């Protein structure tokens, strides 16, 4: 199939995206980037970590998205006393049948909201890790495959760190994107105010079946990516590992470790999904630059020297993008 035919096919296949966005806009005001990143995760089968202060509609957006695709939604409030069995389920003894039966937990859903994920201890996080990576859970000696689409959207509160458990790098790396959510603008805030003063708060309606999302995921993989774009992605990731090879010597003492191969894979998948959202059958450099920060910000480790100078991963990614030649 040539590029023109592929582009026409993608334009046709991606029409439902506008319907989804319009439905989400009924409820969510002034957070277009957050909605787009959630759709990228949905279309690219990648989990998302959302970080923002309370009250920025993170939970509302996730629940609204689940409603629009007729998906089974489950919210899990992570707390320090949470047990793995509270997440995945457990074996219970039935006196009637005199045998142990499996009682499935809230992880058996299509879209999971893991609220304040950094408040759970290591055992719970490891149970969630298996579900995220393997798309399955183990209860007793039985394994259960999770239904598709399966998407974990986890939230973190950056303000209150008392009683939290920092997520290990192995788990953070499993998230395709880490999205930082900021306050809405003043006009959007006014619109939010008016919306909440109405007699009835708007809700989203189901507009698409889960099967259509599974089909769209296959179509997203068909989006064309030129070899020059592939080189651009690998140069960005390698510059985070070996900055001195790209004449970025000033970054060497600031970076403790760079992006893993998952960064390369997820940047390509996210870029393809972003092109799909924009009804394009091919990836352009702007797709890479749009998703780069969300893919890389949790995959670059910074040194104490960087922290002392108040240099963040965002500054490092900005330097890399400014330095690497755009194809």
Dihedral in degrees, nearest 10, Cα atoms 287, 293, 295, 298? 180
- The pLDDT of residue 136 is above 90: no
Is residue 176 within 8 A of residue 270, CB to CB? The reply is: yes
Q: How far apart are CA 273 and CA 283, in angstroms?
A: 9
Is residue 224 within 8 A of residue 282, CB to CB? The reply is: yes
- Closest residue by Cα to residue 273 from 261, 259, 290: 290
Is residue 89 within 8 A of residue 103, CB to CB? The reply is: yes
Please report which confidence band the pLDDT of residue 148 belongs to, taking 50, 70 and 90 as the band edges. Answer: confident
Is residue 277 within 8 A of residue 14, CB to CB? The reply is: yes
pLDDT, tens digit (0-9, with 9 covering 90-100), for 265-296? 999 999 999 999 999 989 999 999 999 999 99
What rounded mean pLDDT belongs to the chain? 87
- The pLDDT of residue 168 is above 70: yes
CB atoms inside a 10 Å sphere around CB 45: 19
Domains, the chain: 12-216 (3.40.50.300), 223-323 (1.10.8.80)
Strand order in the sheet with 111-115: 73-77, 111-115, 151-156, 47-51, 175-180
What's the token pair of residue 312?
């963040």
Place of tokens 């201890």: 121
Please report which confidence band the pLDDT of residue 163 belongs to, taking 50, 70 and 90 as the band edges. Answer: low
Taking the alpha carbons at both ends of the chain, their separation in whole angstroms is 24
What's the token pair of residue 319?
């330097």
pLDDT, tens digit (0-9, with 9 covering 90-100), for 59-117? 888 888 888 988 888 999 888 888 888 888 888 887 887 788 888 889 998 999 988 88
Please report which confidence band the pLDDT of residue 162 belongs to, taking 50, 70 and 90 as the band edges. Answer: low
Find the DSSP H helices in the chain.
3-13, 15-25, 32-44, 58-68, 84-88, 122-134, 169-172, 186-197, 210-221, 227-241, 261-277, 285-296, 304-308, 313-323
Q: What is the pLDDT of residue 160?
A: 62
Is residue 184 within 8 A of residue 58, CB to CB? The reply is: no
Give the phi and the psi of residue 264 in degrees, each rounded to 5. Answer: -60, -50
Q: What is the pLDDT of residue 161?
A: 62
* Those residues with Cβ within 8 angstroms of residue 97's Cβ, 6 or more apart along the chain or in another chain: none
Query: CA angle, 138 as apex, 135 and 140 as ends, to 5°?
Result: 170
pLDDT, tens digit (0-9, with 9 covering 90-100), for 294-303? 999 999 988 8
**For the whole prediction, is pTM greater than 0.85?**
yes
Pair type for strands 142-145 and 255-257: unpaired
pLDDT, tens digit (0-9, with 9 covering 90-100), for 200-257? 787 888 888 888 899 999 999 999 999 999 999 999 999 999 999 988 889 999 999 9
- The pLDDT of residue 190 is above 70: yes
Residue with more model confidence, 284 or 198: 284
pLDDT, tens digit (0-9, with 9 covering 90-100), for 2-54? 788 888 888 888 889 999 888 888 888 878 888 899 999 999 989 999 988 77
Residue with more model confidence, 242 or 188: 242
Alpha carbon 238 to its chain centroid, in Å, reads 23
Give the phi and the psi of residue 138 in degrees, each rounded to 5. Answer: -115, 125
Kind and range of the H or E run holding 45? none
Give the phi and the psi of residue 100 in degrees, each rounded to 5. Answer: -85, 135
What's the token pair of residue 222?
């068909």
What is the SS3 string spanning 199-230? CCCCCCCCCCCHHHHHHHHHHHHCCECCHHHH
- Report DSSP letters for 158-205, one per residue: SS--TT--PPPHHHHTTEEEEEE--PPPHHHHHHHHHHHHSSS-----
């Amino acid at each position: 199939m040539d590029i023109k035919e592929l582009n026409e096919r993608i334009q046709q296949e991606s029409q439902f995206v506008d319907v989804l966005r319009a439905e989400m806009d009924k409820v969510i005001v002034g957070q277009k980037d957050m909605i787009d990143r959630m759709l990228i995760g949905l279309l690219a089968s990648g989990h998302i970590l959302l970080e923002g202060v309370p009250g920025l509609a993170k939970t509302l957006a996730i629940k609204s998205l689940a409603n629009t695709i007729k998906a089974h939604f489950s919210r899990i409030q992570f707390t320090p006393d949470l047990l793995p069995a509270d997440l995945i389920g457990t074996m219970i003894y039935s006196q009637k049948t005199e045998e142990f039966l499996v009682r499935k937990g809230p992880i058996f859903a299509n879209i999971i909201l893991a609220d304040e994920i950094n408040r759970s201890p290591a055992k719970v996080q490891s149970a969630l890790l298996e579900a995220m990576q393997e798309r399955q859970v183990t209860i007793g000696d039985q394994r259960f495959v999770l239904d598709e689409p399966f998407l974990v959207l986890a939230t973190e509160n950056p303000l209150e760190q008392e009683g939290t458990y920092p997520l290990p790098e192995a788990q953070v790396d499993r998230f395709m994107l880490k999205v930082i959510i900021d306050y809405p603008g003043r006009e959007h805030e006014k619109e939010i105010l008016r919306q909440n003063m109405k007699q009835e708060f708007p809700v989203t309606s189901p507009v698409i079946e889960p099967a259509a999302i599974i089909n769209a995921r296959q179509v997203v993989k068909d989006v064309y990516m030129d070899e020059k774009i592939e080189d651009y992605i690998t140069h960005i990731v390698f510059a985070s590992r070996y900055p001195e090879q790209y004449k970025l010597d000033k970054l060497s003492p600031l970076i403790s470790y760079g992006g893993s191969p998952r960064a390369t894979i997820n940047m390509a998948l996210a870029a393809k999904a972003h092109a799909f959202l924009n009804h394009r059958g091919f990836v352009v450099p702007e797709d890479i630059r749009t998703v780069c920060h969300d893919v890389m910000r949790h995959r670059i480790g910074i040194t104490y020297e960087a922290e002392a100078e108040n240099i963040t991963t965002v500054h490092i990614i900005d330097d890399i993008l400014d330095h690497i030649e755009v194809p």
